[in-house]
């Protein structure tokens, strides 16, 4: 099968979740024997992770697709975007169309045009909540994939010893530092957490190295001894495993994967997760993680402390349920789900 995966992102930053999930999909479909290429915004085409990436612009997408179709018939054009407007240029090209609404757009313009998804042969969403908020009636729920071969349980004590954190309780946040990620609220929750857990340490692994506003807030709160920013490249999966918990205090999921990879990777690593009580996250993580009130540092502190003090039987039960849930997001299973949709479209 000849498949084009199309994303508006430039795919330059290897830490971007949109890039990671797209390449997980592409490489798995390629491993299954399909001809898979990626289209992305940019000027110079290149090969990344053995996948051909064709660079183009929104205006020239139809022209590029027609050229590629002449070279080799395109069976499936699969576009990924938080914006339904991104589907429009793909409709002018040959091949069956499937559009994946990954999340909510950070742009108000990007939120326009939900009716356009009706023009695709199939539309997928990460949760029922997303479909309801978009007003999409006919859809398939297909999640973004994670790499469960990479994110898997490791010995937490060994990992702590390797990195020198044996005597500390580690709270981990990793990802972007945009305001809606809620990192400032996490920092504001720390004084109360520190008051009751003296040996607690918050590790922040930012996607980008610009940490000045957060560092200033750390200084203002006088929690320098209990917060550490790690900006160099590290083995994220090892940090997820050495952490006593991963804290993801999202205010909302605008510009975030509809099923956040960080949450699922932690669940797959059997590391406890505290996040915020958003309907999309509850649909995925009910019974597997603890939820705090969004935009509420006090609630976040109380929930983190409750998770840290959770008894062993309750912890093990929660972690096993989280682990089982995370396996539904394995890249092989997600690729197979999409392949099933592709086959169904071609048969029609």
* Residue 150 domain flag: no
Q: What is the pLDDT of residue 10?
A: 56
Please tell me which residue, 18 or 197, carries the higher pLDDT value: 197
On whether both 245 and 337 belong to a single domain, the answer is no
Residues 272 and 343 in one domain: no
Q: State the pLDDT at residue 228.
A: 97
Q: Does residue 345 surpass a pLDDT of 80?
A: yes
Residue 210 domain-assigned?
yes
Q: Are residues 178 and 198 in the same domain?
A: yes
Q: Does 25 fall in a domain?
A: yes
Is 102 domain-assigned? yes
- For residue 227, which phi and psi values (nearest 5 degrees)? -135, 135
Q: Indicate whether 280 and 140 sit together in one domain.
A: no
> What CA–CA distance (Å, rounded) separates 342 from 1?
9
Indicate whether 209 and 255 sit together in one domain: yes
The answer to whether residue 151 is domain-embedded is no
Shared-domain flag, residues 106 and 163: no
pLDDT of 157 higher than 90:
yes
**Does residue 265 contact residue 273 with C-beta atoms inside 8 Å?**
no
DSSP state of 178: -
Same domain, 117 and 163: no
Q: What is the pTM of this model?
A: 0.93
Distance between CA atoms of residues 79 and 279, nearest Å = 25
Question: What is the CATH number for 40?
Answer: 3.40.50.2000
Which tens digits make up the pLDDT trace of 129-149? 999 988 888 999 999 999 999
Are 83 and 180 members of one domain? no
Residue numbers of the domain that contains 311: 156-328
- What is the reported pLDDT for 11? 66
In a domain, 46, yes or no: yes
**CA 247 to each of CA 35, 81, 172, 299: distance values in angstroms, whole numbers, following the listed order:** 39, 26, 6, 13
E strands of the chain, at which residues? Answer: 2-7, 35-41, 46-48, 51-56, 76-81, 96-101, 122-125, 140-141, 169-175, 200-206, 227-229, 245-248, 272-276, 290-292
pLDDT by residue (tens digit) across 215-243? Answer: 999 999 999 999 999 999 999 999 999 99
Does residue 21 lie within any of the structural domains?
yes
DSSP single-letter state for residue 30: H
Give yes or no: residues 136 and 199 share one domain. Answer: no
Give the whole-angstrom CA distance, residue 26 versus residue 40: 13
Answer yes or no: do 163 and 231 share one domain.
Answer: yes
- Residue 245, both tokens: 């918990």
* Cβ(253)–Cβ(280) below 8 Å: yes
For residue 19, is it within any domain?
Answer: yes
Residues 247 and 236 in one domain: yes
Average pLDDT over residues 242-270: 96
Same domain, 200 and 231: yes
- Domains of the chain: total: 2
pLDDT tens readout for residues 51-105: 999 999 989 999 999 999 999 999 999 999 988 889 999 999 999 999 999 888 8
Which residues make Cβ contacts (< 8 Å) with residue 338, sequence separation at least 6?
A: 25, 29, 78, 98, 124, 142
Interval 36-52: pLDDT, tens: 999 998 888 999 889 99
The predicted model gives 171-187 an average pLDDT of 96
DSSP 8-state assignment for residue 145: P
């Amino acid at each position: 099968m000849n498949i084009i995966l199309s994303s508006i992102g430039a795919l330059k930053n290897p830490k971007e979740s949109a890039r990671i999930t797209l390449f997980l999909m592409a490489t798995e479909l390629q491993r299954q024997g399909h001809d898979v290429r990626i289209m992305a915004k940019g000027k110079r085409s290149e090969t990344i992770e053995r996948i051909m990436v064709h660079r183009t612009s929104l205006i020239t997408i139809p022209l590029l697709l027609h050229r590629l179709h002449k070279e080799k018939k395109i069976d499936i054009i699969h576009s990924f975007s938080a914006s339904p407007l991104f589907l429009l240029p793909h409709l002018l090209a040959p091949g069956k169309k499937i559009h994946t609404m990954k999340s909510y757009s950070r742009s108000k313009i990007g939120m326009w045009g939900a009716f356009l998804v009706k023009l695709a042969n199939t539309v997928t969403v990460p949760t029922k909540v997303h479909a309801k908020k978009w007003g999409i009636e006919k859809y398939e729920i297909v999640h973004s994939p994670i790499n469960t071969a990479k994110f898997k349980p490791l010995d937490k004590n060994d990992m702590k010893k390797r990195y020198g954190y044996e005597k500390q309780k580690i709270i981990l946040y990793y990802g972007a530092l945009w305001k809606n990620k809620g990192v400032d609220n996490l920092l504001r929750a720390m004084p109360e957490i520190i008051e009751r857990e003296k040996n607690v340490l918050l590790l922040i692994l930012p996607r980008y190295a610009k940490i000045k506003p957060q560092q200033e807030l750390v200084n203002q709160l006088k929690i320098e001894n209990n917060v550490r920013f790690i900006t160099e490249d590290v083995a994220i999966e090892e940090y997820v495993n050495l952490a006593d918990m991963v804290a993801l205090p999202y205010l909302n999921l605008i510009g975030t994967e509809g099923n956040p990879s960080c949450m699922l990777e932690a669940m797959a690593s059997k590391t406890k997760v505290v996040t915020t009580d958003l309907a999309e996250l509850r649909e995925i993580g009910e019974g597997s993680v603890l939820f705090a009130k969004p935009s509420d540092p006090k609630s976040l502190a109380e929930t983190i402390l409750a998770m840290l003090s959770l008894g062993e039987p309750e912890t093990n039960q929660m972690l096993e349920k989280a682990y089982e849930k995370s396996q539904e997001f394995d890249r092989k299973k997600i690729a197979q789900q999409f392949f099933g949709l592709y086959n169904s479209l071609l048969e029609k």
